[in-house]
Amino acid sequence: MMTIIGMVVVLGSIIGGYMMEKGNLSILFQPAELLIIGGAAIGALIIMSGSQLKVILKSVGGVFSSKQHTKPDYLQLLMLLNHLFSKAQREGLIALESHLDVPGKSDIFVKYPVIMHDPNLLNFITDNLRMIITASMSANDLDSLLEIDIETQHSEATFAPGIITKIADSLPGLGIVAAVLGVTLAMGKITEPPEVLGHTVAAALVGTFIGILACYGFVSPIATNLDNQANAHSVGFAVVKQALIGFSQGSHPMLAVEAGRRAIPPRERPSYMEVDAEIRKWKEKK
């Protein structure tokens, strides 16, 4: 929703200012310029993305529909980790195996829908808990393993914004290409009356306008939005990493969860008292 509002503000400000100066909107509508710039940009996107085109398009669609993680979401993640760690402490690590094998049928995981709807984070939790169960490794080894996984996840998440940023950078240049072609056409009409020649030159300059506007008003902000989403999504992995390392070192479940809580940015971080209150409620329901 905020993305759409931002786009409306961009267009409204530019068109409004243009109209205040008695500008002619029909001059700005140049289908040929749009075809040159838009078609070239799409072609460049296909060349750069290759087989990952669908992934990029899906990511761009996420700008309009994605929901940022909030304090309640992180609280669910912390409570899931506490639930898993507490069960392992009481019944042994082997008691987690059935829950990790089929999370969708686990009476633990289904209580935390936010995590269930994030397959990458869910797999990160289950895969690395399996490693702790089946392999004996030091905290340093586990830290290195988790860091590799997080870097890979983040690299994949930032692939789309990286490509979109390159497309944004190319748009002013493509606008110049369209403008040069327009000027070339204008030169062919040099003997025409001034009003005809002026209209042709104005149409050519619109190409530069479209390229710059598309870059700085729309495509570059979309790339930044996607990059921010990727950074925000990586927070969940950092939370799980810190909690798992603490748990693998033999820390009490509450201490391991607290280590994970500290990895949450302050603006979205549940307070210690909020987490403690949720854990107390959970214990009362058992």
Highest mean pLDDT among 136-145, 160-169, 275-284: 160-169
Q: Report pLDDT digits (tens) over 65-95.
A: 767 788 999 999 999 999 999 999 998 888 8
pLDDT of residue 22: 83
pLDDT in tens, 156-182: 889 999 999 999 999 999 999 999 988
Mean pLDDT, to the nearest integer, of 233-238?
92
Please tell me the predicted confidence (pLDDT) of residue 137: 77
Mean pLDDT of 186-213: 84
Q: Is the pLDDT of residue 194 over 80?
A: no
Quick one: pLDDT at residue 51? 83
Amino acid at site 142: L
| pLDDT at residue 205 greater than cutoff 80 | yes
For position 286, what pLDDT does the model report? 63
For range 265-283, the mean pLDDT: 90
Better-predicted residue by pLDDT, 135 or 184? 184
Could you give the percent of the chain with pLDDT greater than 70? 99
- pLDDT at residue 66, as a whole number: 64
Instruction: State the average pLDDT for the chain.
Output: 89
Distance of CA 83 to the CA centre of its chain: 28
Mean pLDDT of 109-137: 90
Q: What average pLDDT does this structure show over 142-155?
A: 91
Has residue 195 got a pLDDT over 80?
Answer: no
- Write a three-state SS string for the chain: CHHHHHHHHHHHHHHHHHHHCCCCHHHHCCHHHHHHHHHHHHHHHHHHHHHHHHHHHHHHHHHHHCCCCCHHHHHHHHHHHHHHHHHHHHHCHHHHHHHHHCHHHCCCHHHCHHHHCCHHHHHHHHHHHHHHHHCCCCHHHHHHHHHHHHHHHHHHHCHHHHHHHHHHHHHHHHHHHHHHHHHHHHHCCCCCCHHHHHHHHHHHHHHHHHHHHHHHHHHHHHHHHHHHHHHHHHHHHHHHHHHHHHHHCCCCHHHHHHHHHCCCCCCCCCCHHHHHHHHHHHHHHC
**pLDDT at 226 exceeding the cut of 80:** yes
